[in-house]
Structure formats: structure tokens, C-alpha cells
Chain A
Amino acid sequence: MPRYTLNINGTEQVLDVQPDMPLLWALRDVLGLIGTKYGCGIAQCGVCTVHVNGTAMRSCVTTVASIAGQKVTTIEGLANGAQLTALQQAWIDLDVAQCGYCQAGQIMSAAALLAAKADPTDEDIDAAMAGNYCRCGTYLRIRSAIHKAASTKSALFYDATRSEEQHA
């Protein structure tokens, strides 16, 4: 099988997988990073959202082969050790989750939004989050939590551009 090297949450990972293996299943089944979820397999629901070089991507349709050598951040790699990002803390403070299954994907989409726009409007949030389904209907708190994280100036923000050393 081909071997692909990826940087995942700051660590070099060598993956022996088929060329058509989606990142989602390499994360979950090969590396045991189960925080990224399976929802549809066709990039419709957003629960599998991760960052590739800081950009929100649907890992269920992104093959490992297509992103060889690139930098992946998953929900497990968002916090800096025990220090949660302002976004994660806002998710806890506002008790956003109901079942919680889609929330990793929601948070990853929101993190990409905040990295691109530090103080988003409702319209910005609507546009950035429209691809993430929540069957429980937690959308109102998702919107509030993004605003809360954006207003928490002193808290640690997730920085998609930070170096590997900071991750490690």
C-alpha cells in the first residue's frame, strides 16, 4: 500500500492506506482520533469537518492521498494542551450541545470562521455555518457561542498558523 506522511495536530504521521482512503476513516480507524465524526459520506452534513492548512474541509470526501504532506487539525488538536480555546469554552459555558455528535464539526467550522474574521456578524456566521447540520437544533446557541468566543478578547484563540512546536 502507498505510504503518505501528514502532519496531524502537530505530529508527523505515516499512513499506509489505499489511495482512495478518506481522511475521516484514516483519522478514526487507523489513528484512533475518533473526535471527527461520520455523518453522510458525501460532504452534505459537516460533522466530519477538520482543518487542512487552516481551511475547513470535509474529511469524508478528502482523501489522504490528496493532502499528503499537508497539515491537518482535528477537534483533538484544537486546544493547546489542557487550555481550551475561547470557542470550546464558549461551547461549554453556553451549554450548546444536546446529543453532541455534530458539535466537533460545528466547532471546527466556527474556528475557521474566527481565524478568518475575528468579530463576525450574524450574516457571517450564517454563511460560514450553513454547511453544518444539527438534527437536535442547537443553532441558536451555536451562533451565540461564536459571538461569545469572538468577544472574549483575552482568552486564547486557536491559531491555524501556529507552528508545530507550539502544538507539540
Chain B
Amino acid sequence: MNSDLNLLAASVRRAAATPLDRRGFLKLTGLLGGGFVLAAMTPSLFAAAVEAAPLISSAELNAFIRVTPEGKIVIYSANAEMGQGIKTALPMVIAEEMGASWSDVEVLQSPVNESLFGQQMAGGSTTVPRTWDQMRQMGASAREMFIGAGAIVMEVPREELTAANSRVTHESGDFRTFAQLATLAAKQRVPDVATLEFKEREDYTIIGTAISGVDNEAIVTGGALFGIDTRVPDMVYAAYQKCPAIGGKVVDANIEEVKRLPGIVDAFIVKGNDNVMELLDGVAIVGTNTHAVFSAKQKLNVQWDETKASKDSWSKLANDAKALHGKRGSEPVVKKGDVDAAFGNPQNTTLEAFYEYPFVAHLCMEPMNCTAHYKRGSGGTKDTVELWIPTQGPSRAFGPMKTMFGLEQDQVTIHQMRLGGSFGRRIFSEYVCEATEISKRVGKPVKLTWTREDDIRHDFYRVGGFQSVKAAVDKSGKLIAFENHHIGMQANGQPVIGSGFTANEFPLESIENGLVTNTLFELRTPCGPWRAPRSNTNAFVVQSFLDEVARKAGRDYRDFLLEILGPARWIEEGNIRAMHTGRAAGVIKLAAEKAGWGKPMPAGSGLGLAFFFSHAGHIAEVAEVEVDANKKLKVKRVTVAVDVGPIINFSGAVSQVQGAVIDGLSTMMTQKITMEGGRIQQSNFHDYPVLRLPSTPIVDVHFIQSDYRPTGLGEPALPPLAPAVGNAIFAATGQRVRKMPFSEEGYSI
């Protein structure tokens, strides 16, 4: 997992750093899994690989674009849509460069085929930066092919032609529509990538506008889009019960009794491979409908062997961590200058604090599910499996299909389904393995649906942790030293995803004296990426604590932050995953200005500012809150300033920011997963609530559309929210919140 995510991040860095000459492009495609080379694409290849029946007789310009004789421009979206909006945004980029009218565009989900569509993974807010050039190349190459066809048909030099509004127009005013030219255009030579020219920003007519999501009509009429909506002839329904203590083994179960329950077709014990990312032991129940299997699951009695199961205990973790407050961890992970000298200098002011944040669940509104149809071969044909998966990375299922079921890629057909939320959850494929195993056993297509209880108790959680922090400011009030004892989690000796505090965390890049030490507790509970991993907790600690420090030094927090950032520069040239201090300062100033930073506030009200850089996004937020004597909190407004470069879909971009703020507030206020004896103690929305509409603040979003490359927006607007609200609570009440969720400190919303 870690290495995959690192590879993803590395590919994004490479994309930013590599000039797009032909050689650079080829190198880039190699890194992304190969095959994504325009010149190698011929129409005959697509016909075999793209199984979209309605498109017969349409003209293929490249893997992503087909034009029907009626003039419909079909653009494939190759990556997972989970609410982040790329199924609309990426085709907008193609349509812009090719000169299509958006009203002529129909977007379809592409087949899963990385040799045609490049890497089909969505995650880490990487899809936009990774595919920005590819999408522009697809659109621009199609445009050149249309112009080439227009030059032939109109018998004019191609230099006298332009493409716009789904037409190729001659300077005389004569034109041909894309529909008229499509067949001939598809036969034009595919341009060399190096020769392609892209539109200037001021000429954009689609990029930067607000376009409603391409699936919206289906969404508002109840169309089948999501994995859980899959229906296949002769399909049966399944539920799967795993040990509540993660990793427990099945000894026995009342299988015969369960089999006699109404609507139950079969029930059996599944022996897993002890890999939580693939198949854990459990009991499968198969029936004629979901209600039958969910009801039978409640009557299931399983005798578990928990000898080797998780024994994790949140209360023990919390107690052990508290005992480490004020102490240092093991070998320094970051060491700059001499923090002890800074802390020991009586001229300086020092401050210490201890912060805590819990495990949280992903809580996708659509619970984990997969439909699998395992077909045994006969008469010499091989076994095959067909999978309908709501997944962030469909090709991630190929690995376990090979290792667990012996199926090569050509024996596996994957349908990428829309995801009812993901937030990092559906990067894993264990529900795919479970559905495949059950289908293989029963010999029928099976839709496996997890109950909400399964979904909350068998997640890959956002890791909880603790940070013991210390800082010093000099006589002038400038931050000169920062120390963090990060108390996190590890599995088999390796830090789990989301647990870490590294050298590129703010403010370590910008100060003279820094020290980070680690203590990692060994953990069995699975952890995984959760919307802005690491940043979603580190931002809370750092931005709350620095506000404490600024206040102790008598400084305005906005000015204090700007001083730490220093002169405008990239922290690491060419790495878009490292901050640009000028962009950071820009969003801090803008958010402060728009929120009325510094204005007098009534008693019980306050403004709080936080900045965080994550997933290549520079974002500052100012929260305005009211707090009453009973710690009832009203977050009235959150003002957000964002620099992720040019905005592709303005509507989707505002949605991502507003959603991240509301999600951040939801998580900050009430959400906490605890475990005792290896068992997750929460099970459904009654003990793991989500923020409701009446508690939603106004979220006022401002973009700085800088000329840097566009980067992703699914994640980076979440991290600054919790510290902005915490800092606002302090401004309103003088009370500092150092623990999430805030409900544990007596706050309600």
C-alpha cells in the first residue's frame, strides 16, 4: 500500500517536473503502466478493446474520443467517479482542446484497460495533475485530425482553419461540422505529441466554467449507477460475517439452522488467507434477497477462535500515550539546528502542549459491496470472473484474482461502477475477494452487500494518535524552534498509512531549529488513507498549537504565519507536493481579508484562522463561531481561500471545498472509533453520527487561479477546518481545544 501511494505521488512529481518533449512523455507513460502513447493507437485497436455497442459506426479519434455520424461526441472518462467530479472535469479538458461544444458531448465510463487509458487509479488528489497533460493531448490531437480532414474536404491550407463549437471553420466563414468530418478525421495521421499546441487560458470556453455533473440526470431519477445497483440475471444475494475481533478464525457455526431460514439458498464457512486486504475467515450466507441474508446474519452464531485476533485497546493506547507527554521518542526523524539551545535560552518564550485525535471510519453512504460472477471453464476453456466494483482502482483487483484464484488478467473482466463515496476506503479490494469466493462456491453471480455494521466495524480506519509539541519564540515574537514527539501507530514494525510527521510538515521547512521524534505503538486494527491522510490530523495539531504560541507571544496569528513563511519561494523546486510560500501567503491574506480578520467581534464570538498545504493545494480557512455558556457551538461561516492553480470545473471545485469543510466539521465535532479487545465499538449512525443540514455553516469559497499547473481538490480543503474552528473557539471563549472530537471536550453543535 505505502509503496503504491508513493509511486502515485512520485508519478505526479515527475509529471510536474518533466518537460513535455516527446522523450519525457514516453518516459512518463512508462512510469504509469505503459501503453499510453498516442502514435501507437489505431482505430482497429479500439474496436477490439472498447466494448461499447451503441458506438458502432462511430469514428474513433483516439482512445478517449469517438464521434457518431449524428454529431454526438463521446468522451470516455477512465477514472473512478466517487463524488470528486472528475467524470465531468477531465472530459471538459478534452472537449476544450478539441474545440467541441459541451452540449454535443456525452461522457461514458471507459472500460478497464490501462493499456488504452493509462493508469485508472483515482486517489490522493492526483488524477487532475496526473492526467492534465494527457487529456489536453487527447483533445488537441483530435482537433488537429479534424483540421486535417477539413483541409482535405474544403481544399484549403490547414493553417487557414480553426476548430471550435464542434466545427472546423475556414477564415472565409465556410465550415464543416465534426460530424461531417469524423470518418475522414479518424483516418488522419495521429500528430506527434511534441508538435501539439494547447490553448491559452484566455481562450478557454469550457475550462473554468461551471458545468453540472454528467451523471446528474441519472442521479435525480434513480438510474442505476452505483456498484450496489448491479443486477445480473440469475443473481443471488450474499452477506459475509467476519470475526468482530479483527483476524479471528471460524471454529464452528450454526450453518444448518441458518440454511433453513426463509429465503436462504446456502450458507458456509469460508477459510481465509489471513490477509485483511484479501480474505479473512468468515461465514457466507446466500439468499434470494438482501433482507433474507441480513436477517439470517442476525441469527448466525459463530464460535470464533480469537487466539491470533486483534487485542487492540483504545483506552490502553490513550493511557500509554499520555504517559509520554513531555518526553522524547526514539531516534530523531527530523533534526535541524538545536532546539534545546532555543528552549534553554531564558530570553525566549516556550510553550508545550499535548494533542489527541481518534481513529475515524470512512462511512461511505454506499456500504462496501461487489457483484461477482465466477464461471468455471468446461471442455478446455478457462475459468473466468466478471466483477462489478465500486472501486478507486479497478486494476488493483487483478493481483488477488491471480494469487487467490489463479486467474490471469484476460480471465478477469472488471466493470468500474460509480462509488457512493470513498474518501480512500475503496482503494482496498477485500470485498471483491469475498464476493468472488462466494460466487465460486455457489456457481452463480453473487451480489455481496455489507451491512452498515460490517462497514463500520471492518474499515481501514484513519489512524488515531497523539502529539506532544513544544515551541519557542524569541524576544521579537518570532518562532525559532519547534519540537514534536509524534505518538502514532505501526503494523509489523512499519508506520501505518496516515501516521507520521516528516521534514516537509509545516513549519519545519521554514524554521532554524526543529526536532521530531517518534513513538509508534504496534497495532492490528487496519488503517488506510482517509481524505488527506496525515494532513487531516497534523493540521489540527500544528495550526492549533501555533495559534497558542502566537497568542502567548502577543502576536496576531495571520502576521505570525506570514512571518514563518518568509520570502516567496518553492520549498523544493519542481516538486508540486512541496509548498510554495508565496502561494501560501496569498491564500492566508485572502482568507483573512474576505473574513474580515481583525474586526471587533461580539462577546461569545470569534474568528479563527488556519492554513495548511496538502496534496499540492494551498488552502487557508477562517471560521466564525459563536459559543454559549453550555459549550453549544454555532459555526456561522467558514471563509476559504484556495490556490490549486487554474480551476477546471468551477461548480465541482466549489463543491469539493464546501464538502471538505462540512466533512471536516462533521469529523471534528463528533466522530470517534474506539476498539477494546480488538473489537470496534461503534456500529451504525446512532453511535457514529454525521453532521446534519441544520448545523451546516455558510462556506464562502475564493480561488486564486494562479498560473501553476492545476492540482487536485478532493482532499486539501479538509485539514485546515478543525484548527480554524478550534482557534475561533479560543478567540470566543479563551478555551483551547486540544482533542478531537470536540464533543469529548463538552462541545456540541
A interface with B by C-beta (< 8 Å): 1, 18, 20-22, 24-25, 28-30, 32-42, 44-45, 47, 74-76, 78-79, 84, 88, 91-104, 107, 125-127, 129-143
B321 contact set on A, CB distance < 8 A: none
Which chain B residues have a beta carbon within 8 Å of chain A's beta carbons?
Answer: 82-85, 210-213, 215-217, 219-226, 228-229, 231, 237, 262-263, 288-292, 294-295, 363-367, 418-423, 449, 451-452, 651-652, 655-656, 658-663, 666, 684-686, 690-694, 696, 698-699
Contact, CB under 8 Å: A29 / B237? yes
10 new A-B contacts at CB < 8 Å, known A38-B449, A92-B212: A18-B262, A30-B289, A41-B684, A74-B222, A97-B83, A101-B420, A133-B365, A136-B659, A139-B692, A143-B693
CB–CB A138/B659 < 8 A? yes
Q: Could you list 28 examples of A-B contacts with CB < 8 Å?
A: A18-B262, A18-B263, A25-B290, A29-B289, A34-B228, A34-B231, A35-B223, A37-B226, A37-B366, A38-B228, A44-B686, A74-B222, A78-B221, A95-B213, A95-B655, A97-B215, A98-B655, A99-B420, A99-B422, A100-B420, A101-B420, A104-B222, A129-B693, A133-B365, A133-B690, A136-B659, A139-B696, A141-B658
Shortest C-beta distance, A82 to chain B (Å), equals 10
Q: Is A137 touching B213 in the complex (CB atoms < 8 A)?
A: no
The one of B212, B656, B694 that contacts A130, using a Cβ cutoff of 8 Å: B694
| Max chain A C-beta neighbours (<10 A), residue from B226, B422, B696 | B696
Please give, as numbers and ranges, the residues of chain B lying within 8 Å of A92 by CB-CB distance: 212, 216-217, 220
Query: If A98-B655, A107-B220 touch, does A137 touch B663 (CB 8 Å cutoff)?
Result: yes
User: Which residues from A are CB-within-8-Å of B666?
Assistant: 135, 137
A134 and B365 in contact, given A40-B685, A44-B684 (Cβ under 8 angstroms): yes
B663 touches A136 (CB 8 A): yes
Please state if A29 and B291 are interface contacts (CB–CB under 8 Å): yes
A25:B655 contact, CB within 8 angstroms: no
Q: Are B83 and A38 in contact (CB under 8 A)?
A: no
Please determine whether B290 and A38 come into contact, CB atoms closer than 8 angstroms.
yes
Q: What secondary structure prevails in chain A residues at the interface with B?
A: loop
Given contacts A74-B222, A125-B693, contact A137 B685 (CB under 8 A): no
A38 partner residues in chain B, CB cutoff 8 A: 228, 290, 367, 449
> Residue on B with the closest CB to A82?
B221
Chain B residues, Cβ within 8 Å of A25: 289-291
CB A33 to nearest CB in B, in angstroms, measures 7
B365 touches A45 (CB 8 A): yes
Task: Given A130-B694, A132-B693, A139-B693, verify A100-B685 contact (CB < 8 Å).
Answer: no
B229 near A39 with CB under 8 A, answer no
In the complex the two chains form, is B365's CB within 8 Å of A39's CB? yes
Contact B212 A99 (CB under 8 A): no
Q: Decide: A76 and B222 in contact? CB cutoff 8 A.
A: yes
Q: Report how far A96 CA is from B294 CA in the complex, Å.
A: 32
Q: How many angstroms from the CA of A78 to the CA of B223 in the assembled complex?
A: 12
A residues within 8 A CB of B216?
A: 91-92, 95-97, 100
Interface contact A140-B686, CB-CB below 8 Å: no
- Given A38-B290, A88-B220, A143-B693: A138 and B365 interface contact (C-beta under 8 Å): no
Do B222 and A42 have beta carbons less than 8 Å apart? no
Measured CB to CB, the closest approach of chain B to A78, in angstroms, equals: 8
Cα–Cα distance between A76 and B365 once the two chains are bound (Å)? 20
> Shortest distance in angstroms between B241's beta carbon and chain A's nearest beta carbon?
15
- The CA of A103 and the CA of B451, in the complex, are separated in Å by 20
A41 contacts B229, CB within 8 Å? no
Closest-by-CB residue of A relative to B211 is: A95
Task: Indicate if the CB atoms of B684 and A100 lie closer than 8 Å.
Answer: no
Counting residue pairs across A and B whose Cβ atoms lie within 8 Å, the total is 197
- CB-based contact B83/A98 at 8 Å: yes
B418 CB, min distance to chain A CBs, angstroms: 7
Contact A98 B85 (CB under 8 A): yes
Q: Inside 8 A of B451's CB, which chain A residues have their CB? A: 41
Query: Chain A nearest CB: distance from B229 CB in Å?
Result: 4
Which listed residue, A32, A95, A103, touches B210 by the CB 8 Å rule? A95
Whether the pair B699, A103 counts as a contact (CB closer than 8 A) is no
- The smallest beta-carbon distance between B470 and chain A, in angstroms, is 35
Shortest beta-carbon distance from B88 to chain A in Å: 9
Chain B hits for A88, CB < 8 A: 220-221
Residues of A within 8 A of B225 (CB): 100
How many whole Å from A119's CB to the nearest CB in chain B? 18
B222 touches A35 (CB 8 A): yes
Which residues of chain B are near A41, meaning CB under 8 Å?
294, 451-452, 684
Among A37, A45, A101, A132, chain B packs the most CB atoms within 10 A around the CB of A101
Whole-angstrom distance between the Cβ of A34 and the nearest chain B Cβ: 4
By a CB distance below 8 angstroms, the chain B residues around A99 are 82-83, 364-366, 418-422
Q: B262 contacts which chain A residues (CB < 8 A)?
A: 1, 18
**Shortest CB distance A65–B (Å):** 12
Q: Which of A76, A134, A141 has the most CB of B within 10 A?
A: A134
A91 proximity list for chain B (CB < 8 A):
216, 219-220
In the bound complex, how far is the Cα of B652 from the Cα of A141, in angstroms?
Answer: 12
Pick from B291, B366, B694, B698: contact of A101, CB under 8 Å: B366
Given A25-B291, A97-B216, A137:B224 Cβ within 8 A? no
Residues from chain A with a CB closer than 8 A to the CB of B229 are 34
Kindly list chain B residues whose C-beta atoms are within 8 Å of the C-beta of A138: 655, 658-659
Partner of A133, one of B289, B292, B685: B685
CB of B733 to closest CB in A, whole Å: 25
| CB-defined contacts of B211 to chain A, threshold 8 Å | 95
In the complex, what residue of chain B is closest to A79 when comparing beta carbons? B221
How distant is the Cα of A56 from the Cα of B656 in the complex, in angstroms? 29
Instruction: Output the least CB separation between A123 and chain B (Å).
Output: 9
Return the contact of B684 from the options A42, A95, A96 (Cβ within 8 A). Answer: A42
In the complex, the answer to whether B85 meets A34 with C-beta atoms within 8 Å is no
Expressed in whole angstroms, the minimum distance between the Cβ of B29 and any Cβ of chain A is 30
Q: Which of A79, A84, A125, A140 contacts B658 (CB 8 A)?
A: A140
Closest 8 CB pairs of A and B: A35-B222, A137-B662, A101-B420, A99-B83, A98-B83, A75-B222, A137-B659, A44-B685
B692 touches A84 (CB 8 A): no
Return B443 CB to nearest CB of chain A, in Å: 20
Most B-side CB within 10 Å, residue of A22, A79, A138: A138
Tell me, rounded to whole Å, the shortest Cβ–Cβ distance linking A167 to chain B. Answer: 15
- The CA of A102 and the CA of B365, in the complex, are separated in Å by 7
CB neighbours of A101 from chain B (8 A): 226, 364-366, 420-421
